[in-house]
Structure 1
Amino acid sequence: MHNLVLTELLVIFSLSVAVVMLCHRFRVAPIIGFLITGVVAGPHGLSLVSSIKEVDLLAEIGVMLLLFTIGLELSLSKLMEMKHAVFIGGGLQFTMTTMIAGGIAWNLAIPSNQAIFIGFLVTLSSTAIVLKVLQQRGETGATHGRASMGILIFQDLIVVPMLLLMPLLAGTAAHPLQELGLFLFKSTIIGLVLWFVARRFIATMLFRIVRQRDSELFLLSVIVIGLGIAWLTALAGLSLALGAFLAGLIISESEFSHQAFSAILPFRDIFTSLFFVSVGMLLDASFLWDNLTEIIIVAIVVIVIKTFLTFGSAIFTRAGFAASFAVGLCLAQVGEFSFVLAKAGIAEGLLSPTSYQFFLAVSILTMAMTPSLVERSGRWGRTLAQLRIFRRLAIGRSPVDPTRKRLTNHLVIVGLGENGQNAKQLAHRHNIPYVILETNPETVRRELASGAHIQFGDATQPAVLQHAGIMNAKTMLITIPDAAATRNIVATVRHMNTDLLIVARSNFVTEVTELESLGANHVVSLQLEASVALCHKVFGAFNLPPSTLAQDMDDVRFNRILHHTL
């Protein structure tokens, strides 16, 4: 049995590699690749996988990790900074889309509870696809990118309440109002307990764990916290998904959230890929072919409705016309959390097998169109804004930054030793914006208390670098003594930002060439610079002419002294 599951996982991942590579070649989102993998390997395809229950179990872990990382990326302070885009833009988009989509379904003689559920499915957009495309295009900091992020955050927040409403919509709850009140009471009590008790305990525990400088121990501790809180919420009769989200939200309030996010990210990606594969296994390719015309029509209708409703919501975030229209196009697809809701809806009887097949086909088609829509969103928005009929709407106020005070053209300092401290002080003196990445928790706490712009995180991790604004930075200074880590950082950063000026420290002369080949613009060797300083002091005592001494030091620095001697 175990060998069968292992063999089928090997089949799934091997097929996923091939399909996702093809998707990249044709500029299709990787999520579509995982869905196609499920279609091919599933019972409606080549029937390569029979351990459906085992795959579903791993997929459920993926959903928990997805919600856990969403909680990690959020915090109450961040939500307050983004409140306009999140609660006004996101709230309007959710309300209007649910009402319009549900109203259309109700007019088609679909029962009201199922119509509301269809509205839930349609309103959600794909956080994974949209953010990936915006990051690839370098538009996460653009006006439409920031507004899109705000609305997506609200959608991610509203998923958990929607999941908890499934029994009420399905009518499987014996006493709906009583159960709803009980749910609200439990959620409030658990939330308060976790917030005022577990938050402080967990922050202290993580601080002591990080002091051990053991990455495996830190990762295990984060997993234990996530699973433990999810287990507690399940014992209280609430969902595992809610517990995973709360666990992430609690850790997000500590200074270790960025490192926790980067540590858990590979596991999230692996397990969520299995979730999308498991969804694809349920899609019947013959149904798609037999109903292709209707599916295409409905997909276009969904895109048009979501574009204009989301556009209207973004306008209320005080974005201009062009940016708001771009937001509408960016969020016009059906999202990955709609698959989570749909699977719950089948279990509760809110979706028939035929309706589910139709929903899957429409969702996959809207997702496949997303990269093309995002690519054209800004240009189409600007073109429409020039038309006289829209010109008055186009004169919108520039929106407030919904994410946080963004750093641009700033300095990223890796490591806060003597060299890092000197760079920080000079940045202060000359009013140069900076952010420091440091892995010593005591240093981070001390510097945060003094008002320094510092984050706890391993700079070899792309997620940590993104939080430090590496895509918008002007210069990076790497001061850490670890040669292997420095090589990894230089290679990762150069891949993420080809225009960044990277200045790195090396201990030995032999490390300079490799760091330069990896992408460092300037490498300062401590061994070489010490030799230059020593020689300068010694031979300066012999009253050599300054020009001759300077030429000698250049010869030492560039290793020409041996050739001149010989």
Structure 2
Amino acid sequence: MQEDFRLILDIVTVLAAASAGGFLASVLRQPVLLGYLLAGILVGPAGLGWIKELVQVETLAQFGVTFLLFSLGVEFSLKELRKVRGIAIGGGILQISLTILITAVLAVVSGWLTPVQGIFLGAVLSLSSTAVVMKSLTETNQMGTPQAQAMLGILIVQDLAVGLMLAVLPALDYPLPELAGSVGKALLEIGLVGLGAVVAGIWLVPSFLRLLAQQESKEVFLLGVISLCVGIALLTDRIGISSEIGAFIAGLMISEVEYADQTLDYVEPLRDVFAALFFAAIGMLIDPSFIASHLLLILTLVGLVMVGKFLIIAPLVRLFRYSLAAAVAVGLGLSQIGEFSFVLASEGQSLGLVSRQTYLLIVSTTALTLLITPFLLKLAPRLFAWLEGIPAVARWLESGERPRAVAPDTPARGHVVVCGYGQVGQDIVRLLESRQHELLVIDQSERVVQQLRSRGIPYLYGNAASALVLEKANLPQARTLVIALPDRISIRLCLKRALELAPQLDVVVRATHKEDIEQLYQLGATEVVHPEFEASLGLCSHVLLELGEPLAIIQQEILAIRNSHYRDLRPLHPSCLIPTPLSWLTQQAALSSSPEAPANSNGSHGSTKPASHLAWWEHWQRPAHYH
């Protein structure tokens, strides 16, 4: 068969298999990347053998990781990156160093490997999978949580370390001066790339994107962005740093530019297609027959690796003052071996650092840990919820959650407690301050606490989901508790423990997931607010006001929707199939806007608003007031 046609057929085969695998995984309510991996196993050389040009498919699959990390860099701004620089740099370097050291010592003591081979194996095991972790966190809507930010910070450092490891590998057997020279050269290259990225991000990239946008052509903009992404990735690969980290740097350069959202919107479809190719290509590397013949050994290695990495990572995260729950989540999330380990293992085999047998064991162990990780990240919230139901475990989880600092002017009575000082928490505090209400903010970020201290806002420095921290907030004497935490586990724990301390407390909760609304009400929340539903209500109310509907009717219907816990707006709720109060109101608004419409409540017709009621409503609705 003609070579070019063979490659096209292989790509179509992989994409079709990945599509089928992803569909099946979705039907079974499993992560879609699990379907991609299994599809790769099925059509790969160790399965049905339908794929002949594996090397070329793998080359194309690398674009999947490239675009994945590029879009991740666009979404994850430099401002967000600075928030986790402590855990990223300190925790990432410590985690890599400890993993290499412990692995090398154990390998030498057991007599399995030489010191050089032990160091190499430690480097392979120290890496985690950016692609798998980020894909899983995105699918489970955990990207905004503290543990997700910590994972990403550590993963960035790991990816940067890949270039350093690849540069050092050929010199591992060399004398110390030559080894130090290789390390110094690699560090210098990374530093120069970082400096070049800063310069280009400030002076070149914004002008380049502005020039593309001025052409008002989606195709031109997309091609220009792809060229920028791939060009920087190839440049970093050329100088010895992984192309994937180059793509991430390209994304960070764009993240602070006004065209970041437009860029992300254009690149996401390409990212998803090539990411499916990438995960399927990883599946092709898995040899089920080799795993079956060495099943006990491989399962033992999988257990040792995942438990060992968890025991290294979780305490390190705790050391950086993250909550115990967040530390456990990060430990579980990063306990696998990363996709770059395939690259390191292949390079090590070509350099003679490991035998063919050891290489196959590394590949098989890595593949199984990648298969297990999506399940761990998906089951982690349920695991925490189950552990919270065991009194002894719950007390142990709470034991390390004492408040680290308390403001001297903490209010004792009649105050509003705000848990979480993100964007929502900041807006609430600003409004309460403007009306001179007593308030207390609880947050576990040292940076946030410094801001609160400088502004003279009473604070509690600690985990708002901890009973020991909530006890210091004088909840029985508080007027209201506002829970605006970023992750669903902390939200539920905070609500549950707050009501245990003050059963009659008025509690307003921001729900991050639609499916949590009813559960939060069942746990005792007075009011549960979902941002997307509230945006829908706000937009619709503005439209109806413009159509001339009386404010009193709009308020009445919106209140009814809120009192029904947004049931009429939920896509999966049966009532979405019948006319809802808001849809009825929209129909009435359309009728009232017609020429034959009767006069409204204030005697006006058509689209004239009831001016006597609307001053405060318009003041709240206008976009300028959100600035």
Q: TM-score, normalised by structure 1?
A: 0.68
Offset at residue 284 of structure 1 (A): 1.8
Which residue pairs with 2:400 in the alignment?
Answer: 394
Offset at residue 497 of structure 1 (A): 8.3
Q: SS in structure 2 opposite 1:325? A: helix
Aligned to 2:422, which of 395, 403, 406? 406
Offset at residue 46 of structure 1 (A): 1.5
Q: SS in structure 1 opposite 2:160? A: helix
In 2, are the aligned partners of 1:330 and 1:377 still within 8 Å (CA)? no
Which residue pairs with 1:342 in the alignment?
Answer: 345
Offset at residue 159 of structure 1 (A): 1.4
In 2, are the aligned partners of 1:195 and 1:250 still within 8 Å (CA)? yes
Aligned to 1:15, which of 17, 35, 59? 17
Summarize deviations over 1:6-26 as a string: whole Å, max 9, x none: 222222122222223333344
Which residue pairs with 2:380 in the alignment?
Answer: 374
Confirm whether residue 502 of structure 1 aligns to residue 505 of structure 2. no
Offset at residue 255 of structure 1 (A): 2.8
Which residue pairs with 2:60 in the alignment?
Answer: 58
Confirm whether residue 114 of structure 1 aligns to residue 117 of structure 2. yes
Q: Counterparts of 1:198 and 1:244 in 2: how far apart (Å)?
A: 13
CA RMSD of aligned residues (A): 4.5
Confirm whether residue 98 of structure 1 aligns to residue 114 of structure 2. no
In 2, are the aligned partners of 1:63 and 1:241 still within 8 Å (CA)? yes
Q: Counterparts of 2:236 and 2:171 in 1: how far apart (Å)?
A: 23
- Seen in structure 2, the aligned counterparts of structure 1 residues 527 and 233 have a Cα distance that, compared at 3 Å, is farther
Which residue pairs with 1:355 in the alignment?
Answer: 358
Q: SS in structure 1 opposite 2:593? A: helix
Q: Counterparts of 2:594 and 2:238 in 1: how far apart (Å)?
A: 66
Offset at residue 295 of structure 1 (A): 1.4
Q: Counterparts of 1:53 and 1:27 in 2: how far apart (Å)?
A: 32
Q: Counterparts of 1:139 and 1:392 in 2: how far apart (Å)?
A: 22
Superposition pairs for residues 344-493 of structure 1, below 5 Å?
A: 344-370=347-373, 371-372=375-376, 373-379=379-385, 382=388, 386-387=392-393, 390=396, 393-397=399-403, 406-408=422-424
Summarize deviations over 1:275-299 as a string: whole Å, max 9, x none: 2322322222111101111111221
- Seen in structure 2, the aligned counterparts of structure 1 residues 383 and 323 have a Cα distance that, compared at 3 Å, is farther
Q: Counterparts of 1:205 and 1:332 in 2: how far apart (Å)?
A: 40
Confirm whether residue 295 of structure 1 aligns to residue 298 of structure 2. yes
Ranges in structure 1 where 5+ consecutive residues have no aligned partner: 412-425, 432-468, 476-495, 510-514, 541-545, 555-566
Confirm whether residue 223 of structure 1 aligns to residue 229 of structure 2. no
- Seen in structure 2, the aligned counterparts of structure 1 residues 311 and 173 have a Cα distance that, compared at 3 Å, is closer
- Seen in structure 2, the aligned counterparts of structure 1 residues 337 and 268 have a Cα distance that, compared at 3 Å, is farther
Q: SS in structure 2 opposite 1:150? A: helix
Q: Counterparts of 2:294 and 2:126 in 1: how far apart (Å)?
A: 23
In 1, are the aligned partners of 2:167 and 2:186 still within 8 Å (CA)? no
In 2, are the aligned partners of 1:32 and 1:364 still within 8 Å (CA)? no
Summarize deviations over 1:163-197 as a string: whole Å, max 9, x none: 34224223389854444433333443343234224
Q: What amino acid is aligned across from residue 84 of structure 1 in structure 2?
A: G
Q: Counterparts of 1:227 and 1:133 in 2: how far apart (Å)?
A: 24
Confirm whether residue 532 of structure 1 aligns to residue 534 of structure 2. no
Summarize deviations over 1:439-473 as a string: whole Å, max 9, x none: xxxxxxxxxxxxxxxxxxxxxxxxxxxxxx99997
- Seen in structure 2, the aligned counterparts of structure 1 residues 410 and 237 have a Cα distance that, compared at 3 Å, is closer
Which residue pairs with 1:33 in the alignment?
Answer: 35
Which residue pairs with 1:444 in the alignment?
Answer: none
- Seen in structure 2, the aligned counterparts of structure 1 residues 238 and 301 have a Cα distance that, compared at 3 Å, is closer
Superposition pairs for residues 206-355 of structure 1, below 5 Å?
A: 206-233=209-236, 239-355=242-358
Larger RCO (CA under 8 A, 6+ residues apart): 1
Q: Counterparts of 1:428 and 1:212 in 2: how far apart (Å)?
A: 46
How many pairs were matched up? 465
Which residue pairs with 1:147 in the alignment?
Answer: 147
In 2, are the aligned partners of 1:322 and 1:382 still within 8 Å (CA)? no
Which residue pairs with 1:156 in the alignment?
Answer: 156
Q: Counterparts of 1:516 and 1:529 in 2: how far apart (Å)?
A: 20
Q: SS in structure 2 opposite 1:46? A: coil
Ranges in structure 2 where 5+ consecutive residues have no aligned partner: 406-419, 437-485, 489-508, 513-529, 548-567, 608-627
Summarize deviations over 1:330-383 as a string: whole Å, max 9, x none: 333333343444344445444433223222322333333332552444236546
Summarize deviations over 1:483-514 as a string: whole Å, max 9, x none: xxxxxxxxxxxxx98855514468999xxxxx
Deviates more, 1:378-387 or 1:323-332: 378-387
- Seen in structure 2, the aligned counterparts of structure 1 residues 252 and 157 have a Cα distance that, compared at 3 Å, is farther
Q: SS in structure 2 opposite 1:502? A: helix
Q: SS in structure 2 opposite 1:43? A: coil
Q: Counterparts of 2:47 and 2:276 in 1: how far apart (Å)?
A: 18
- Seen in structure 2, the aligned counterparts of structure 1 residues 169 and 113 have a Cα distance that, compared at 3 Å, is farther
- Seen in structure 2, the aligned counterparts of structure 1 residues 78 and 218 have a Cα distance that, compared at 3 Å, is same
- Seen in structure 2, the aligned counterparts of structure 1 residues 232 and 368 have a Cα distance that, compared at 3 Å, is closer
Q: What amino acid is aligned across from residue 199 of structure 2 in structure 1?
A: F
Q: What amino acid is aligned across from residue 532 of structure 1 in structure 2?
A: S
- Seen in structure 2, the aligned counterparts of structure 1 residues 56 and 474 have a Cα distance that, compared at 3 Å, is closer
Q: Counterparts of 2:132 and 2:47 in 1: how far apart (Å)?
A: 25
Q: Counterparts of 1:498 and 1:39 in 2: how far apart (Å)?
A: 40
Q: Counterparts of 1:521 and 1:547 in 2: how far apart (Å)?
A: 19
In 1, are the aligned partners of 2:533 and 2:569 still within 8 Å (CA)? no
In 2, are the aligned partners of 1:64 and 1:241 still within 8 Å (CA)? yes
Q: Counterparts of 1:5 and 1:361 in 2: how far apart (Å)?
A: 26
- Seen in structure 2, the aligned counterparts of structure 1 residues 553 and 245 have a Cα distance that, compared at 3 Å, is closer
In 1, are the aligned partners of 2:14 and 2:43 still within 8 Å (CA)? yes
- Seen in structure 2, the aligned counterparts of structure 1 residues 337 and 293 have a Cα distance that, compared at 3 Å, is same
Aligned to 1:183, which of 183, 186, 201? 186
Q: Counterparts of 2:219 and 2:510 in 1: how far apart (Å)?
A: 30
In 2, are the aligned partners of 1:68 and 1:244 still within 8 Å (CA)? yes
- Seen in structure 2, the aligned counterparts of structure 1 residues 321 and 242 have a Cα distance that, compared at 3 Å, is closer
Q: Counterparts of 2:249 and 2:325 in 1: how far apart (Å)?
A: 36
In 2, are the aligned partners of 1:113 and 1:170 still within 8 Å (CA)? no
In 1, are the aligned partners of 2:18 and 2:36 still within 8 Å (CA)? yes
Q: Counterparts of 1:41 and 1:394 in 2: how far apart (Å)?
A: 49
